Amino acid sequence: MEGGKAQCTNVIGNNREVPKERIIKFKPPLYRQRYQFVKDIVDQHEPKKVADLGCGDTSLIRLLKVYPCIKELVGVDIDEDKLRWRGDQLSPFMGDFLKPRDLDLTITLYHGSAVERDSRLLGFDLITCIELIEHLDSGDLARFPEVVFGYMSPAMVVISTPNSEFNPLFPTENLRDSDHKFEWDRMQFQTWALFVANRYGYSVEFTGVGDPPAGAESVGFCTQIGIFRKNEERAAESRVSERQDEHVYKAVFTASYPSLQQERFLRLVLVNEVSRQVESLRLKHLRRLREEGEGLLGIQPLENDSNFPSFGPVFTDAEKARIENSPKPFVAGRKFFVPLRRLVAYPKLHRICPNEDVMRSLVDDCVSLSSDGSAVVVDLHDHYDYLFEI
Ligand code: SAM
């Protein structure tokens, strides 16, 4: 209904006729605006633990898994088939192994109801309930605040639900979905939300997505949204006494993503980046040698690096200074040495592993180190240099 198309017209607010075809096309579609709203909240607040209650086919979870701040992502739905339908798309792809995240991420999907207590939903930073509450019958709706706000008690809750004041702009005036048990106008939603917020120690802010068309502004957003934030006094309350073993939900899917917090992936990425950096420095050194040789023979030197447009990384002044102040690569005999202290100065390596000793212990097995362990050593020349006339 929300994304549909209609031909008729309808009368709203101040008796103006609004052609429906114009009104009910949302760009981007309304569901995407709702997901974007949650993504903006994640961008803004950088929650580590996020749960989506009534997650359906896990579309929102798939969008959220790319956020580097999130370490735990949970989806809960009462419909197990929906969870299983696309759940396997939440497994790590090849690219996730080639370029691991900085922080761990686990994703778990639970079959269960948002009105049941499960201690694995305790301690979350953000819980989203996107188009969920209108699917709850009166009994479940009465239980919902105690479970979500009282028991799960996350730092933030985002609840979206249809705004019934918008409905006259749709072709039919029924509920928007046959499974909806109710649709509230803004007054009804806000009254409920304020009551819940006061009772459980939250503040609430109201907004929405799906702008009304020109001339129909008085109906408000098509989807109304409440953002609940836990008050400081409530946030300071200790939850230690809470039972940690109340496991009611059934886990139907779980995935752990590779990350640089796991030593085997850190080692893999580090060895790869060290080898790449050493090779880049070796080639640069050979180019300089050749240019100096050609200069001595009176041959016009090739344009050096600085005359070519630079496609390499652009360093900040502080990064340049850190590199300049570190020991330079050097040649002894037919060997090329790059001190580890030089390597940890390069931004990419500095971010992954800023400590020289840790770097040494991690790359030790896979790259050749000088006898005192202070530098990576490679042959100054290799077969390919002659092949490509470097
Ligand atoms: N949040 C998803 C989205 O925005 O794309 C799906 C919304 S869909 C309209 C409502 C979802 O809530 C359905 O997947 C339904 O199975 C689920 N649901 C209904 N009652 C529930 C309950 N008590 N606990 C958990 N999920 C429930």
Q: What is the CATH number of the domain that holds 75?
A: 3.40.50.150
- Residue 21 resides in a domain: no
User: What mean pLDDT, rounded, does the chain reach?
Assistant: 88
pLDDT score, position 88: 75
Domain that holds residue 243: 28-257
- Residue 22 resides in a domain: no
| Tokens of residue 227, six digits | 């953002």
Are 360 and 211 part of one and the same domain? no
Helix 138-145 with 186-200: angle, nearest 10 deg: 40
- Residue 151 resides in a domain: yes
Residue 203 and residue 205: Cα distance in Å, rounded?
7
Are 149 and 271 part of one and the same domain? no
- Contact at 8 Å (CB) between 36 and 223? no
pLDDT score, position 212: 92
Q: 136 C-alpha to center of ligand 1: Å? A: 9
If we measure between CA atoms, which residue out of 155, 165, 156 comes closest to residue 226?
Answer: 156
**Residues 232-249, buried b or exposed e (16+ Cβ, 10 A)?**
eeeeeeeeeeeeeeeeeb
**Number of structural domains, the chain?**
2
For the chain, what is the largest distance between any 2 Cα atoms, rounded to a whole number of angstroms? 92
Last residue of a domain, one of 257, 291, 312: 257
The CA–CA distances, whole Å, from 211 to 15, 18, 41, 124, 175 equal 19, 14, 19, 31, 19
- Residue 48 resides in a domain: yes
Are 269 and 185 part of one and the same domain? no
Query: Mean pLDDT across the stretch 102-119?
Result: 97
- Contact at 8 Å (CB) between 244 and 119? yes
Are 53 and 67 part of one and the same domain? yes
Q: Is the pLDDT of residue 207 over 70?
A: yes
Are 196 and 232 part of one and the same domain? yes
pLDDT score, position 279: 95
Q: Is the pLDDT of residue 13 over 60?
A: no
pLDDT score, position 241: 53
The per-residue pLDDT for range 338-358, each reduced to its tens digit, is: 999 999 999 999 999 999 999
pLDDT score, position 201: 97
- Residue 14 resides in a domain: no
Residue 385 and residue 237: Cα distance in Å, rounded?
66
- Residue 191 resides in a domain: yes
Q: 72 C-alpha to center of ligand 1: Å? A: 20
Pocket perturbation via mutation, ligand 1, pick of 83, 86, 110, 135 by most ligand atoms within 8 A of CB: 135
Are 216 and 97 part of one and the same domain? yes
Query: Mean pLDDT across the stretch 167-195?
Result: 91
pLDDT band at residue 17, thresholds of 50, 70 and 90? low
- Residue 13 resides in a domain: no
Are 100 and 196 part of one and the same domain? yes
Are 232 and 337 part of one and the same domain? no
Percent of the chain with pLDDT over 90: 74
